[in-house]
Amino acid sequence: MIKPLSLSSRTPFAKGGQRACYVDPADPLRTLKVLLPGHSPQEKREALSFPKNFRPLHYFDDNDEEYRNLRWIEQKWGHVPLIPRLYGKVETDLGTAISTELFRDENGQISKTLEYYLWKEKEPKRCQQALEVFAEEWLQYAIPTRSLMLYNLVVVQEGDALNIKLIDDFGLAEFIPFVKLSNRLRRAKVTRRVNTLFAKVDRLLACKDKLSADHQEYQNAIQKRVKMLEEMEKF
């Protein structure tokens, strides 16, 4: 039996709500993502009551779901430069990891999120323009996603150019299979997702300079993620 790769001795470069992200020790341009403690399929299923807990275990595995979604996208659309390449699964001492492309800026640093730049930049116009380019291309593909989050888009800096990539949120939240929808309906859905994304940009920009009790929870969550990315520079 092949010994699982040791990740527990390493530090993740980032964590999301579900997963910890490590730089692949064998390749700095790949990330290995594992489920965080408390998010294993068993734990998620046990937290539910009947009839929801009757679904098969893989149904509760967010990592496996992303693997299946990225594979499905690749089969249907081929390589999409706006999302990470999928390299497969790797057994680690923290569970099964999915291996995907890690986006880095030209200077070698791991690319930071759109949320980070919108929050930190005094002049976020350039990011907004890059987002418009992303949106236009994304609409051409019309790939299904859940609601797009500003912390699930990263801004890759290459020379003077900023290129936005989507690193999470693939797949379907709805029950009706997206693929069965007509092209027109699919595009309409993707357009709605993109419009909501622009609304999220506006919301962030509107409240970033005025800390207020009304938005405190939202602002604290952003600040926590921004701080994590500031510490990411050593990777």
Which positions touch Mg ion (CB under 5 A)? 16, 152, 168
Q: In what order do the strands lie in the sheet with 161-166?
A: 112-113, 153-158, 161-166
> Residue 232 gets which letter from DSSP?
G
Residue 5 binds: one of ligand ATP, Mg ion, none (C-beta under 5 to 8 A by kind): none
Q: In sequence order, what E strands does the chain have?
A: 14-15, 19-24, 27-35, 86-92, 95-101, 112-113, 153-158, 161-166
* Residue from the set 5, 19, 22, 190 that interacts with ligand ATP by CB under 6 A: 19
Q: Which is nearer to ligand ATP, 26 or 185 (CB)?
A: 26
When CB distances to Mg ion are compared, the closest residue is: 168
**Cross-strand pairs, 98:** 33, 89
**Largest distance between two CA atoms of the chain:** 57
Q: Which of residues 169-228 bind ligand ATP (CB under 6 A)?
A: none
Q: Which is nearer to ligand ATP, 124 or 171 (CB)?
A: 171
Q: Which is nearer to ligand ATP, 54 or 65 (CB)?
A: 65
Closest contact distance (angstroms) between CB of 4 and ligand ATP is 21
Interface with ligand ATP includes 103 (CB under 6 A)? yes
Compute the distance between CA of residue 101 and CA of residue 87 in angstroms, rounded to an integer.
8
Q: Which is nearer to Mg ion, 6 or 147 (CB)?
A: 147
